[in-house]
Amino acid sequence: MSRARPWLYLLPTAAVLVPLFGYPVYMLGLLSVFDYRQAQVSGGQPTTFVGLGNYATVLGDPRFWQVLLQTVGFAAALVVATLAVGAALAVLLTRVSAFPRAALSLAALGAWAAPAMTGATVWMFLFDADLGLVNQALGIEGFNWFYDRWVTFGVVGATVVWHSFPLVMLTLYAGIQAIPGSVLEAAALDGASAWHAFWRVMVPMLRPLVTIVVIQSIIWDFKIFTQIYVMTSGGGIAGQNSVLNVYAYQTAFGSSEYGLGSAIGVIMTLILLVITLFYIRALHRTGERL
């Protein structure tokens, strides 16, 4: 009985995850090797097995490579920006009085809590060509922030960073607080500047935490969906601002190419799986017992 008990406790989890997580993952793979479009969904035409045909189509499409490259570049920029802002502010938090610290923590908590949808709508309004505060403040009339590809990425990126830096800031701040004060004092006595104390003392001591935060940010930023979908109305002018997640969704539900969309989804899952393996290794390095 005692050997079966853990499985008994895991039973409700399995009852949820097998049909609603495991099966869809399996089905995603299955759909990706079939020709599955609107005609097949409605039963007008039989579904045909096409093997790796969908993958060949996707990989042979220059558009896919462009979106992939764009996704990687956008995610990389977001990760760097989020970490730079988050880390700088975490250090700043350790050097300010109680009131500014409380104010910044509370503001960050608010940005973190705000739904992605809210962030998207408010930032869109701030950057609206005619009625937006930003154009008004900068004195540029009617400038459309959502026209040029890179300017659009910049605004969407700022929105994403606004959402994601608080987690990095608060996590790293908690980590810095856990460093014994004597270590930092010793560094200060030895004449280390704030800059050196950060890079030579804090960063090495926080390495495990930093690694986890970096990988979580990579995964998070690689999967961006809502902000792009909402702020650029489904991927921007002619899909110029599309990222993999939006591209897969649009291919499936926009163009009714469910097989092709699934193939893109599988490719994306595989990329994330590789990143996850690095994450698990990093967890192991920190000596966490699984």
- Sign of the dihedral defined by the CA atoms of residues 245, 247, 250, 256, in that order: negative
Measured from the CB of residue 151, what is the shortest distance to another protein in angstroms?
A: 18
Q: How far apart are CA 248 and CA 132, in angstroms?
A: 32
Closer residue to another protein in complex, CB, 66/269: 269
Q: How far is the CB of 195 from another protein (least distance, A)?
A: 13
* Nearest distance in Å: CB 6, another protein: 4
User: What's the chain look like in SS3?
Assistant: CCCCHHHHHHHHHHHHHHHHHHHHHHHHHHHCCEECEHHHHCCCCCCEECCCHHHHHHHCCHHHHHHHHHHHHHHHHHHHHHHHHHHHHHHHHCCCCHHHHHHHHHHHHHHHHCCHHHHHHHHHHHCCCCCCHHHHHHCCCCCCCCCCHHHHHHHHHHHHHHHHHHHHHHHHHHHHHHCCHHHHHHHHHCCCCHHHHHHHHHHHHHHHHHHHHHHHHHHHHHCCCHHHHHHCCCCCHHHCCCCHHHHHHHHHHHCCEHHHHHHHHHHHHHHHHHHHHHHHHHHHHCCCCC
- The minimum distance between CB 246 and another protein, in angstroms, equals 8
Identify residue 160 by its one-letter amino acid code: V
Least CB distance from residue 258 to another protein, whole Å?
6
Give least dist CB 56 to another protein, A: 19
**By C-alpha distance, which of 222, 225, 256, 250 is closest to 238?**
250
The one-letter code for the residue type at 101 is R
Q: Among residues 11 and 76, whose Cβ is nearest to another protein? A: 11
Minimum Å gap between C-beta 201 and another protein is: 19
Q: How far is the CB of 226 from another protein (least distance, A)?
A: 5
How far is the C-alpha of 54 from the C-alpha of 34, rounded, in Å? 8
Cβ-based nearer residue to another protein, 201 or 210? 210
